[in-house]
Structure 1
Amino acid sequence: MRHLLDLCKRRGFLFQSAEIHGGLRGAYDYGPLGVELKRNVSQEWWNSMVYGRSDVVGIDTAIITPPAVLKTSGHVDQFTDEMVDSRLSMDRFRPDKAPALKMDDRNRIPITAPDKDTAKKWEHLIRTQFAKGAIITRSGKEIQLQVDRLEKDRIVLAKDPASDNNAMPASDSSTLNIPYNGYVDPNSNSPFLTESRPFNLMFKTYLDPIDPTDKIITATLEAQQTSSDLTATRQLVDKTLYPSLTYLRPETAQGVFINYMTVQRSHPHLRIPFGIAQIGKSFRNEIRLEHAIFRTPEFEQMELEYFVAPWQAEEQFTSWRKSRIDWWKTYARNHDHIRERPHAQDELAHYSKGCVDVEYLFPWGWGEVEGIANRSDFDLDKHAEATGIKLQYTDAVLMQERQKREKETGQKETRVEVLDRERYTPHVVESSCGLNRAMLALMLDAMVVVDEDGQEVPFNIEDEGEDSKSSSNRKGLRTVMKLHPRLAPIKVAVMPLVSNNSDLVAICTDITNHLRQELTVNVALEMQSTTIGKRYYRMDEIGTPWCITVDYDTPKDGSVTLRQRDTGEQKRVPISEVLTLVQNGLRIRPRGLNRLQEELTAQASIKE
C-alpha cells in the first residue's frame, strides 16, 4: 500500500487535498493520470451496464436532497453506525470493524502509542485514572498491562502488591476490572474505551440566505427564557432550521427511485425488467477514514437499480451476481483476489431478500468493492406511501390480451393471480459499486515489481529470510502497472529515439495526432530528454500498454518499433498497421489473451 501511494503521488495519480494548507483528512485530489484512470473505470462500467444493453438507461440526479426523501427511505432515523472513543488516543471508530484484544505470550496487553512521549502520558493516565494499582510496565512506546484473567464481559488486571501500601480506599480496587465488549482500539490495542453510541452518517446543509448560526443563537436564547431543559432547546432549534434543512445525499439510489415514474413515462418502450443506472458523488460523515481512498467522506458510486416483476427477483438477482463477478474478472489479473461473500441473515436489512458483496483482497484483508442486493419493493412502496403517488408498473401487453379475451368470451377476468401480473409494484435488484474503491483495487491488482529479467518479485521479499537480498539492494527492480489496456490512463506513448531531432519529432507528432483522432483515447507525445529505456520504464510504471518509437530508419522504411508493456517485447511494424494493432489490443476480451501479441507473432511468421 505504501509502495502504491508513493507511486500515485510521484507520478500524478493521487494527491492529498489542500496539501499546501496542511491537508484535509480523508480528502484526495486526482491528478492528470488519476482522473484518466477513474474516468476509464467508470466508462467501462457504463459501457457494460448501459451501452451494452437495450434495457438500461442512465440518469443523473441532484446531490442536495430534501429531508422528506431521506426520511421516507429511513436514512434520517436509521442511517447510523455505532461509535466508540478511545480514552487514551481519543480516536473514534466503529466497534463492528474493530479487532479483538491481543495479548502477548506473557499474558500481557501491549498498548502501542505513536511515540515515547505519548506512551509516558498514556501510562500516567492508566496509573492515575483507568487502572489504579494494576501491574504496568513500559518499554519505549509500548505499555504492557499484566492480565489476571479474561472473562466474558471484562478484563481482570493483575494487581500490583505495592499498591496496597498507598492506603487506597477499597472502592478503588474496582479499577482493576475493565469492561470488555469483544473489541479494542484498532490502532493501539487499548481496551480503555467509552460506551458505544449511535452516530448519523449524513451531512446536513441549509438552503437559506440567512446564516443558520444566527437562527440557532436566536432560537436558543428564546428557549432559555422559558426553560433550561436542553432537550426542549434542541427541539426548538431543529424546528427553526427545518424549513431550510437539506442533506448531501448518502447514496445515489434514492434519486433513481423518486424518478422511477418519470423515467417510465418518458421512455414507454422500457418494459419490465429494465434498469436505471447512475454514476455520481455521495457523502457520508464516516467515523473512521482509512486506507487512502478506500473510505472517505466524499466518494463516487456506480449504481444500477434493475426493476423486475416480483416473481423474477430471485432469478435476476442470481443473474446479476454472475454478470458483476464476470465484469471484475475481465479487468483484474488476480482472480484469486476476488470473491463473493453472501451476507448472513443477521447482516441483511429488514427489507432485503438477499445480498452479496464482491470483495477484493487488499493488503489489510478482504474489503467490499461492490454489493448486489435484492431490495424487494421496499423503496418504491415507501415513497408511494409518503407521497400518495402509485409507483407501479402496468403491463400494457398483458392488459390488452386480457381485454381481448374478455371481449371474445364475454366473461370478466376475476382471478387475482392474473390481474396481479398486469399491475404491481416492481421489486429491485441493485448493483452498487464504489468507483474510488474499484480504482484502488484495480491499481493494487495491476501493480507488480519486476527484476532486470522482467520476472515478478514479491513485495515482501525482504522478509523471506536472511539469505534473500532485500528489494532495496537488488539491482534492476522496477514497478510495472499491468492495467487492462482499456483502463490505462495513457493508451499509447509515441516517442522519438532522439528528442532534439526535428524530423523524428515531426513524424511522432503526425502519428500522435492520427491515433488521437481515430481512437479518441489519451495518446502521449513523450519528449523527455533521457534514454529510450528510461522512457519505456516510466510508461510501464504508469500502465501505458504500448510505446511507439520513431528512429532513424523510420523515414526510410516507414516502420516504427512497437513495444508491449507486459512482456517488454519489441516488434518492427509499418506505421500504417499501428492503428489496427492498437485497436485490436483495446477490444474487450478475457484477461490473459493477448490479441496484440498474437497479431505481432502472426505478422512475423508471415514475413519469415
Structure 2
Amino acid sequence: MSAMRHLLDLCKRRGFLFQSAEIHGGLRGAYDYGPLGVELKRNVSQEWWNSMIYQRSDVVGIDTAIITPPAVLKTSGHVDQFTDEMVDSRLSKERFRPDKAPELKLDANGRIPIIAPDKNTAKAWEQEIRTQFAKGAAITRNGKEILLEVERMEKDQIVLKKDATNIAAEASGSPQESSTSSSSSLQIPYHGYVDPNSNSPFLTESRPFNLMFKTYLDPIDPIDKVITTALDAQKSALTSDLINTRQLVDKVLYPSLTYLRPETAQGVFINFATVQRSHPHLKVPFGIAQIGKSFRNEIRLEHAIFRTPEFEQMELEYFVAPWQADEQFLSWRKARMDWWRTYTRNFKERVRERPHAQDELAHYSRGCVDVEYLFPWGWGEVEGIANRGDFDLSKHSEATGIKLQYTDAIVMQERQAREKATGVKETSAEVLEKERFTPHVVESSCGLNRAMLALMLDAMEMVDEQGRAVLFEDDTSSDNTKNKNSKGVRTIMKLHPRLAPVKVAVMPLISNNKDLVEICNKITHDLQRELQVNVALETQSTTIGKRYYRMDEIGTPWCVTVDFDTLQDRSVTIRERDTGEQTRVPIEEVLDIVQDGLRLYPRRAKSLIQEPEMKSK
C-alpha cells in the first residue's frame, strides 16, 4: 500500500479526517476533521502562533472578516488577475491546470496509451477518437487502454500513423478512400502536457478562470434580479445580445456583490493604519499575523486536503523599512526553515527551499521562495516566503486616498533638533525618506491543511515485530527493509510531542478493576488540570500491548500504566512511544516527565536517566 493511501485509511479509521457529508454522498474537496484531527490541527496552528507571536515582541495578531467587499480585491488585483489557466479533456471532460499537468508518456513500443476508468468507457472513447479527434489513425484497444500509433513527435504537434486499411485504400485509389485518411486528420496539437488522469492529448485550448467565490449580501434572491434584468434586456434590440445583457446583470448585482476572501493577507493590509494607531509602541520592523479560512474555486482538487476549495492559512505580514527588506527577507527564510526542521524530525531531507525563477515572480515581487515537502506524488509547496515590496500598501493608499505610511518619530525629532541648532532646513530626499515612508512587506504564508498532511506523512512509519522500518510501495529509501508482508507490521506516528493529538494515555492493567481505574482517573485529571492538554483514559478490554500499539498509531508520546504494584508502592510504568522503553517511576514524577517532554527544548527528567544504585556488599 502507498504511504498516502495508508495515511488516509488511518485518518478515517482513527478519527483524524472524514469526507464531509459522507452519508449524503459527500461533497467533492470538502473534509471534516474528527476528534484527533481537530486536536492535531489546533496544535500545529498553536505552534505557528507561538513562534510568530509569543516568542517575539514585534508581532501582534489579528482576525479579519471572511466576507470581503469587491473594492478591496479590485485594488489588490484579485478581481482582474487572480486567475489560473484552465484546460478541458475532450474525452474525460475533466478540467485541470496546464502548468500542473504532466508531459505525454509513451509505452515501450512508442505508442500513446490512453487509460480509461473501465472497459466500457474505453470503448466509447475509442469511438470518439475514430470519428472526431483522429480520423483514420491507427488505433488498438486492450482492455481499458486505448493505444495510438505515433509516426513522429514535433515541436507543437503529434503526427499519428495511419490505419493500414486507409493506407491500402490510398495506394489502390479505391473509391472508399475519403478525407478521413488525409494526413491533416492525423496531426494532434500538443502543448507539452496531457490529461493527468488518462494521458490523453485530446484537449481544449487553455483559457483563464477566476478562482474567487462570489456571494451576495442582499435579502432579495440574486437569481430573481438576474432573471428580471435578462428578460427586460431581451425586449430592446440595443441590449438583447449576450454581452450587453451580461453587463446589465453585473451592474444590477454589483451593489450587493461580495467575495469569500481568497487569502487572509488583504485583511491585514487594510487594517495596517488601525493596528498602528491602536498599538503605537510597534516600531518598524513589526509584523501582523493571522490564522483563518480562505476560499478558492480550484479547477482541480487533489490529494485529499492538499488542494481544497476551503482551507486555512497561517500568514505573517512583516512591515519593514525599504532598506531593510532584503536583509529581513533572508532572515525570515532562515526562521521559517528552522521551524519546519524542528517539527519534521524524521525525514529532514524531505523539506527543501526552492527559490522562484524570474518568470514565476509576480510583477511587484522582489523575491520569493517556496518551502516544499516531498510528498508521495512529488515536491509540493507548503509555505511561501515573499518580498512583496510596497505594492499592497501603495495600492490601497491610492484607491482610498488614505496614506498608509510609517513615521519614525525619533528620526523626525533628531532632524528637527538639527534644524533648530543649525538654522538650516533639511532638504535631502534620502534623509526625509527615512523619516516617513511606505513600508515594504516580507510575507510568510503557510497552508495549515498542507502542513498537517506533510507533518503526518513525515511522522508515519511502519515497523515489523523486530521494530525494523517497513517500506511503503512508493518509498525508495534504501535504509528500510522491503519486507512488506512481514507478520505483525504496525504503524507508529512519530509526531513531535507538542503536535500529538493525545499527549498521554493513562491505562489500568486490568480495565474493569475499580481500584486501578480510580488511580487512573486521578492521574488523568491531575495531568489535564496542570498541563491543560488532551489526556486519554484508555480502558478498552484488550491486552496492554495492543493498547500501546493503538496509542503509537495516533502519535501519543507517553503511556502510563497502573498495575497492582501501584496499589502498594505508588509507582507506575511510563512508556515512551519512539523507543518503546518502559520505566518505573513514582506517580508524583509523571507530571514532571510529561511537562519536560512537552517543552520545545526539553530537559531529560532525572528519573529516566538515573543509573540504578549499586547495592553495598
Q: Bin the TM-score by the shorter chain.
A: over 0.9
What amino acid does structure 2 have at the position aligned with 1:278? Q
Distance (Å, rounded) in 2 between the aligned partners of 1:429 and 1:266: 22
What's 1:420 paired with? 433
What amino acid does structure 2 have at the position aligned with 1:33? L
Moved more, 315-324 or 410-419: 410-419
Note the alpha carbon deviations across 1:224-283, whole angstroms, 9 max, x for none. Answer: 111331011110000010000000000000000000000000000000000000000000
Distance (Å, rounded) in 2 between the aligned partners of 1:33 and 1:561: 25
Q: How does 1:263-282 map to 2 (within 5 A)?
A: 263-282=275-294
What's 2:46 paired with? 43
Question: Residues 339 and 461 from structure 1, CA distance in 2 versus in 1: closer, same or farther, beyond 3 angstroms?
Answer: closer
Shift in Å at residue 223 of structure 1? 1.1
Root-mean-square deviation (Å)? 1.6
Residue 223 of structure 1 is aligned with which of 226, 233, 238?
233
Distance (Å, rounded) in 1 between the aligned partners of 2:179 and 2:410: 84
What's 2:449 paired with? 436
Q: How does 1:180-579 map to 2 (within 5 A)?
A: 180-227=190-237, 228-333=240-345, 334-460=347-473, 471=484, 473-579=485-591
What's 2:108 paired with? 105
Shift in Å at residue 541 of structure 1? 0.1
Note the alpha carbon deviations across 1:365-417, whole angstroms, 9 max, x for none. Answer: 00000000000000000000000000000001111111111112222111111
8 Å CA contact retained: 2:462, 2:491: yes
Distance (Å, rounded) in 2 between the aligned partners of 1:441 and 1:600: 34
Moved more, 39-48 or 407-416: 407-416
Question: Residues 459 and 264 from structure 1, CA distance in 2 versus in 1: closer, same or farther, beyond 3 angstroms?
Answer: same
Shift in Å at residue 600 of structure 1? 4.3
Shift in Å at residue 455 of structure 1? 1.8
What's 1:25 paired with? 28
Shift in Å at residue 469 of structure 1? 7.4
Unaligned runs of 5+ in 2: none
What's 1:168 paired with? 178
What's 1:155 paired with? 158
Distance (Å, rounded) in 1 between the aligned partners of 2:60 and 2:608: 41
What's 2:79 paired with? 76
2:11 equivalent to 1:8: yes
Shift in Å at residue 161 of structure 1? 2.8
Distance (Å, rounded) in 2 between the aligned partners of 1:38 and 1:264: 30
| Runs of 4 or more above 6 Å deviation | 461-465
8 Å CA contact retained: 1:41, 1:487: yes
What's 1:142 paired with? 145
8 Å CA contact retained: 2:114, 2:145: yes
Shift in Å at residue 352 of structure 1? 0.2
3-state DSSP class of the match of 1:101? coil
Question: Residues 528 and 45 from structure 1, CA distance in 2 versus in 1: closer, same or farther, beyond 3 angstroms?
Answer: same
Note the alpha carbon deviations across 1:87-120, whole angstroms, 9 max, x for none. Answer: 0000000000001111112121000011111111
Note the alpha carbon deviations across 1:154-198, whole angstroms, 9 max, x for none. Answer: 000001131346432378542211000000000110000000000
Distance (Å, rounded) in 1 between the aligned partners of 2:523 and 2:477: 47
Shift in Å at residue 222 of structure 1? 1.2
Note the alpha carbon deviations across 1:262-318, whole angstroms, 9 max, x for none. Answer: 000000000000000000000000000000000000000000000000000000000
3-state DSSP class of the match of 1:3? helix
Distance (Å, rounded) in 2 between the aligned partners of 1:378 and 1:40: 33
3-state DSSP class of the match of 2:301? coil
Shift in Å at residue 461 of structure 1? 9.1
2:575 equivalent to 1:603: no
Shift in Å at residue 219 of structure 1? 0.8
Question: Residues 462 and 65 from structure 1, CA distance in 2 versus in 1: closer, same or farther, beyond 3 angstroms?
Answer: closer
8 Å CA contact retained: 1:116, 1:141: yes
Residue 91 of structure 1 is aligned with which of 71, 89, 94?
94
Amino-acid identity (%) = 78
Distance (Å, rounded) in 2 between the aligned partners of 1:595 and 1:477: 32
8 Å CA contact retained: 1:61, 1:255: yes
What amino acid does structure 1 have at the position aligned with 2:222? P
- What is the aligned length? 600
3-state DSSP class of the match of 2:203? coil
Note the alpha carbon deviations across 1:33-73, whole angstroms, 9 max, x for none. Answer: 00000000000000000111000000000000000000000
What amino acid does structure 1 have at the position aligned with 2:104? L
Unaligned runs of 5+ in 1: none
8 Å CA contact retained: 1:391, 1:425: yes
Shift in Å at residue 470 of structure 1? 5.2
Distance (Å, rounded) in 1 between the aligned partners of 2:467 and 2:592: 27
Shift in Å at residue 458 of structure 1? 1.2
Question: Residues 157 and 607 from structure 1, CA distance in 2 versus in 1: closer, same or farther, beyond 3 angstroms?
Answer: farther
Distance (Å, rounded) in 2 between the aligned partners of 1:361 and 1:587: 28
Shift in Å at residue 527 of structure 1? 1.0
Distance (Å, rounded) in 2 between the aligned partners of 1:192 and 1:247: 35
Distance (Å, rounded) in 2 between the aligned partners of 1:577 and 1:290: 46
Distance (Å, rounded) in 2 between the aligned partners of 1:233 and 1:542: 56
8 Å CA contact retained: 1:462, 1:469: no
Q: TM-score, normalised by structure 1?
A: 0.97
8 Å CA contact retained: 1:507, 1:550: yes
Question: Residues 477 and 317 from structure 1, CA distance in 2 versus in 1: closer, same or farther, beyond 3 angstroms?
Answer: same
3-state DSSP class of the match of 1:226? coil
8 Å CA contact retained: 1:493, 1:544: yes
What's 2:121 paired with? 118
What amino acid does structure 2 have at the position aligned with 1:374? N
What amino acid does structure 2 have at the position aligned with 1:140? G
Q: TM-score, normalised by structure 2?
A: 0.95
8 Å CA contact retained: 1:559, 1:574: yes
Moved more, 355-364 or 168-177: 168-177
Distance (Å, rounded) in 2 between the aligned partners of 1:432 and 1:607: 56
Shift in Å at residue 217 of structure 1? 0.3
What's 1:127 paired with? 130
8 Å CA contact retained: 1:461, 1:470: no
Shift in Å at residue 18 of structure 1? 0.3
2:75 equivalent to 1:63: no
Shift in Å at residue 599 of structure 1? 3.9
Distance (Å, rounded) in 2 between the aligned partners of 1:215 and 1:297: 27
Question: Residues 360 and 607 from structure 1, CA distance in 2 versus in 1: closer, same or farther, beyond 3 angstroms?
Answer: farther
Distance (Å, rounded) in 2 between the aligned partners of 1:196 and 1:205: 26
Distance (Å, rounded) in 1 between the aligned partners of 2:414 and 2:284: 17
